[in-house]
Structure 1
Amino acid sequence: MRAMTYAEYGEPQSLQLFDVPMPKVGPGYVLIKVHRTSVNPVDWKLMTGALDPLLDTVFPVIPGWDVAGEIEAVGPDVPEFTPGERVAAYARKDFVHGGTYAEYVSVRAVDVARIPDDVDLDSAAGLPLVGLTALRSLEALNLTAEDTVLIHAASGGVGHIGAQLGADLGATVIGTASEKNHEILRSIGVTPVTYGEGLQERVREIAPDGVTAVADFVGGVVPQTLALLAEGGRHVSIADPGVLEHNGQLIWVRPDGPRLESLLQKIAEGRLRVDIDTIYPLEQAAEAMEHNKRGSRGKIIIDVTR
């Protein structure tokens, strides 16, 4: 099968397209024919070796943890899926090796979700990591309709999903973003504020008594969070361990098929959308990674079928 691989730590330019062996499909696993994957910052961070202290790596590596496609085959004792079903998954494994920038990937059946008929493959591929991260963050905050939540980086990959989930719960959502993205936030039910100097004053104009919850999806904003958090408020971060020193929670996402399926259903019902920035063919995965590093308005998708 075709796959983008790297043989040692480095930059995206070292990715190469190779023919590699097909993944094996063991007990409890399914083989997915990959139609789409998406780029996440963790993909190129893993490539640089930044997470080597945390995750074992077996070279050569096929990057990528998001996948949308169809079931090609099932392993022993997997009666819940059949070949041909459209599925998506957050396909993180115990070590870094066989990812989703490839024509096929093996994934634990418990991590796989069916894609509803009304959901396109691009949206399904862009959702798993960011969607599950956002969902886990809001669950940790115990967010309800009574809350006013501040979301740092609300127009980013995780942020724009978290903002929509918060609004869907009935919470009042305030989101930081550059001014060029304010209209996008308004369209998903978020009150936008420009980040940077003066943020505290801008948020207090909307929530004079402060906010009851904060979700940090960018890092480096603990002082602003603490200045705006009302007494008894809760806060989480996906990027800054410093929150642990101030009664906050640090969030790590886990693969979770049932929760992913619930998010896909929200897309089908029109309650959630995944903003797509650009779609690249598989052989341009390095360019897709570089685009992600520079920043993008929405998700960057890799079409493996092109």
Structure 2
Amino acid sequence: MRAVVVRDFGGPEALELVEVERPVAGAGQVRVRVEAAGVNPVDALTRSGELAAAGLMGRREVTGIGWDVAGVVDAVGPGVAQFAPGQRVVGLRDLLDVDLGAYAQFAVLDAQALAPAPAGVDPVHAATLPLNALTAVQALDLLELPEGATVLVTGAAGAVGGFAVQLAALRGLRVVALAAEEDEELVRSFGARWFVPRSAGDVAAAVRELVPGGVGGAVDAARLGVAALGAVRGRGAFAALAGGSEPVGLRGIRVVNVWVGADGPALARLSALAADGRLTLRVAGTLPLREAARAHERLARGGLRGRLVLVP
């Protein structure tokens, strides 16, 4: 089968399309025939070697790339009863130190990392769900905000930020969305009650003008760090979505890092929301597997609304 791997860390050119043996599903595992694989910033960080340099993964001879999977169950290993061949699924491959990732014709994942694909949704759109929606829901869980509380979402028009706005609104939270001026209508359609343009010189002051005293919590999808911390009230909560972007928890604010992990039951609930049209799945474009490097080049330029998707 064909798969994209990295042998030597570097730029997009480090992505190699190779022929490898089809992986085998072991105990508690499922082999998925990949129909679509999302392209995410973590893929670029893996490819470049930044995650290895940060001690988040070891240096390997061959490193698989890709976290988001949408496809069809091809085979199940011993002990797997909840999935069967032919079933459409989505999943999160959250292991970094592996030879094969989601950028492949077949991928093996633990059964607990999979969920039924959203009914009525094509695989390309379904592939944008796992990593970004799970990151958003796990961030909101860590904030522990009660219904009716206020929450700031930075980068609200991005893949994670958009899901965070929608999921927060579904929880009965009142959302302040920070995004580019041209995205105001979009993030308000996601359920944001208030909008702050990214061009606002003082984010904290702009938010506090809308919510006197500050918001109860923040999901910092744009990695603003301390600039967004000032918008949170004393003893509130702040979720940082990348290691190194977390600010010091001044004023008794509880600062947490979101290290996303596979969660089949949570992904199943998100899949059901997507099937019902309550989560918006956005695709920025599709490319064949052989053009993974081109996808990474486009990702690096920024400005995407939604995710690029590779189609094996």
Indicate the TM-score class for this superposition, using the shorter chain for normalisation: over 0.9
Partner residue in 2 for 1:201: 205
Letter in 2 for 1:108: D
Deviation at 1:94, TM superposition (A): 5.6
Partner residue in 1 for 2:143: 141
Note the 1:175-214 alignment, pairs <5 A.
175-190=177-192, 191-196=194-199, 197-214=201-218
Partner residue in 2 for 1:272: 279
The question of whether the paired residues in 2 share the 8 Å contact of 1:25 and 1:75 is answered with yes
2: CA distance, partners of 1:94 / 1:285: 18
2: CA distance, partners of 1:189 / 1:237: 22
User: How much is the aligned-residue C-alpha RMSD, in angstroms?
Assistant: 1.6
Q: Deviations over 1:77-130 (max 9, x none)?
A: 212211000001011226132101110011001111011322321222111111
**1:217 to 2:221 alignment:** yes
2: CA distance, partners of 1:75 / 1:122: 26
Partner residue in 2 for 1:32: 32
With 250-259 and 10-19 compared, the bigger mean Cα shift is at 10-19
Partner residue in 1 for 2:263: 256
Partner residue in 2 for 1:303: 311
Letter in 2 for 1:4: V
Partner residue in 1 for 2:235: 232
Partner residue in 2 for 1:111: 113
- What runs of 5+ residues in structure 2 fail to find an aligned partner? none
1: CA distance, partners of 2:23 / 2:58: 19
| Percent of pairs with identical residues | 35
The question of whether the paired residues in 1 share the 8 Å contact of 2:225 and 2:245 is answered with no
The question of whether the paired residues in 2 share the 8 Å contact of 1:55 and 1:96 is answered with no
Letter in 2 for 1:15: L
Q: Given the two structures, how large is their TM-score scaled by the length of structure 1?
A: 0.94
The question of whether the paired residues in 1 share the 8 Å contact of 2:57 and 2:96 is answered with yes
Deviation at 1:269, TM superposition (A): 1.6
Deviation at 1:278, TM superposition (A): 1.1
Deviation at 1:64, TM superposition (A): 0.3
Partner residue in 2 for 1:287: 294
Deviation at 1:57, TM superposition (A): 4.2
Q: Given the two structures, how large is their TM-score scaled by the length of structure 2?
A: 0.92
2: CA distance, partners of 1:300 / 1:9: 21
1:51 partner SS = helix
- What runs of 5+ residues in structure 1 fail to find an aligned partner? none
Partner residue in 2 for 1:7: 7
Q: Deviations over 1:264-291 (max 9, x none)?
A: 1011122111221111111111111121
The question of whether the paired residues in 2 share the 8 Å contact of 1:148 and 1:174 is answered with yes
The total of aligned residue pairs comes to 303
Q: Deviations over 1:217-248 (max 9, x none)?
A: 122331432x2212332111112453354431
Note the 1:65-104 alignment, pairs <5 A.
65-93=67-95, 95-104=97-106
Letter in 2 for 1:202: A
C-alpha spacing 1:151/1:15, structure 2 compared with 1 (3 Å): same
Deviation at 1:30, TM superposition (A): 0.7
